[in-house]
Amino acid sequence: MKELIEQAKHIVIFTHMAPDGDAMGSSLALKHWISNLRNTGIPEYRNIESIHVIVPNAFPAFFNWMPGSAQILIYEKEPQRCNTLISEADLIICTDFNDPKRIGPMGDKMLANPCKKILIDHHIMDERVRGLVDEGFWSEIHSHPEASSSCEIVYELITNDGLRITNEIATCIYTGLMTDTGNFSYNSTRAELYDIIASLLRAGAKKDEIYNAVFNQYSTDRIRLTGYALYRKMRIYPEYHLALITLSADELERYHYQIGDTEGLVNMPLQIADVFYSVYMREERPKPGTPKARIRISFRSQGDRPVNIWASEIFHGGGHMNASGGELFGTLEQAVALFEKSFKNYLKI
C-alpha cells in the first residue's frame, strides 16, 4: 500500500453509492492518513499533490459532522470536475465495495483509467467481480469478508505500518465500526474488535457523541414516516417468518423524504419474535428521459439464512449473508409480484 502511495501524485478515493457510515468512515480515514503522510515531510510522500474522496451520490445529512466530509466531491453534482480528477488520477483507492457497478457512471470512468488501483473491502466477491481480479485489474487487494467493516481493515493497514491513529482517523473508523455492526449487535463477536475500539477511544474517538450525531439528530418527518411505514405499510407473512414494507415515491414525498430517512427501517421488523426475514422496497421517481421508476430493495435476515443469493439472482444485487440489496426498474406492484413469486425458493423455513 505504502509503495503505491509513494509513487502517486494525484490520488482519488472512491466509495459506494448511497454511502453509509462505513463507506464514509473508511474513505475519510484513508484521506486523513494519506494527508498525514504527506504533511509529515517524509521525502517519499513529497510527490503527492492531491487527494480527493469522490462519492457517486449525496450522503445523508447525519454524516455532515464527520471530519473531512465537507470536502467530499459528489459525482452526481459535479460530473465534469470529477471526470477530470478521475482521468488525471495515478492512484485510485476503492473502499467498501468490490464491484465497479456499485459506483454507477464513475465505474466506467475508473475502468477507462489504466492507473494503479487498490481495493479495500469486506464484501464477498461474486463471480463477475472475481473475473476482474483474475484479469489483474487491481494492483493490490485487501479483501476480508470476515472483517466487521471496511473501517476495521483500514485500521489494520494504518497500524501495521506503525502509524499513529489521530483523533480524526479514530472518529472516522469508530463511525464505520458502529454503523456496520448495528451498534455492535451483529458481525461483532470477535474479541479483537474490542481491542481496536479500546485503542480508538484512547486516540480520542468520542463514542457517545458519535452515536448521538448519527442516531439522534433526525427530523420529525423521519420519525413520523417510520411510524407510518410500520403501522400502515408492513405486511407479515407469518408462515414464512417474513416481513415486507413498501413505500411509494408519493408516500415518501408526503413526509418530505430526505436521503437516509429510511436507513435502518428494514431492520425493525426483525424485532418481532418469529420474524427472521425482512424486505423493504422504496420507489424512486424515474430519472429524466427514463420511462421506468427504480425500486430499491433491501434485504435483511437473522442467523444462518442467506438473503444475498435471492438479492443477486432475482434483483440484480447482492451483499452479505444477512444484509443485501438489489433493484428493479418498473412499478412497486411488479416488484412485490416478483418478491411473492420468488421468496419460497430462497427462504429457509
Determine the 3-state secondary structure of 50 from DSSP.
strand
Q: Strands of the chain (E only): list them.
A: 10-15, 50-55, 73-74, 91-95, 116-121, 140-143, 234-237, 242-247, 277-284, 294-301, 318-319, 323-329
Please give the grid coordinates belonging to residue 216: 439522534
In the three-class reduction of DSSP (H, G, I as helix; E, B as strand; rest coil), residue 7 is classed as helix
Q: Which of residues 79-108 bind ligand 5GP (CB under 6 A)?
A: 99, 102
**Site for ligand 5GP (CB under 6 A): how many residues?**
12
Instruction: Please identify which residue in 15, 325, 328, 332 interacts with ligand 5GP, judged by CB under 6 A.
Output: 325
Smallest distance from the beta carbon of 150 to ligand 5GP, in angstroms?
10
Characterize 266-280 residue by residue with b for buried, 16 or more Cβ atoms within 10 angstroms of its Cβ, and e for exposed. Answer: bbbbbeeeebbbbbb
The yes or no reply on residue 263 touching Mn ion (CB under 5 A) is no
Answer with the entry of ligand 5GP, Mn ion, none that 318 interacts with (C-beta below 5 to 8 A by kind): ligand 5GP
Considering only residues 324, 328, 335, 347, which one is a binding residue for ligand 5GP as defined by CB under 6 A?
324
By CB under 6 A, residue 19 contacts ligand 5GP: no
CA torsion 187-217-60-213 (nearest 10°) is -60
Minimum distance of ligand 5GP from residue 27's CB (angstroms): 14
323 binds ligand 5GP (CB under 6 A): yes
Please identify, among the stretches 14-22, 152-160, 185-193, 209-217, the one whose residues bind Mn ion according to the rule CB under 5 A: 14-22
Q: Whole-angstrom Cα distance, residue 139 to residue 254?
A: 47
Rule CB under 6 A: choose which of 94, 277, 318, 328 binds ligand 5GP: 318
Contacts of 42 (CB under 8 A, 6+ apart): none
109 binds ligand 5GP (CB under 6 A): no
CB of 284 to ligand 5GP, least distance (A): 13
Q: What angle do CA 335, 339, 343 make, to 5 degrees?
A: 170
Q: Quick one: which of 149, 334, 336, 179 has its CA closest to 267?
A: 179
Decide whether 100 or 275 has the Cβ nearer to Mn ion.
Answer: 100
Residues that bind Mn ion (CB under 5 A): 22, 96, 149-150, 180
Residues that bind ligand 5GP (CB under 6 A): 99, 102, 123, 298, 317-320, 323-326
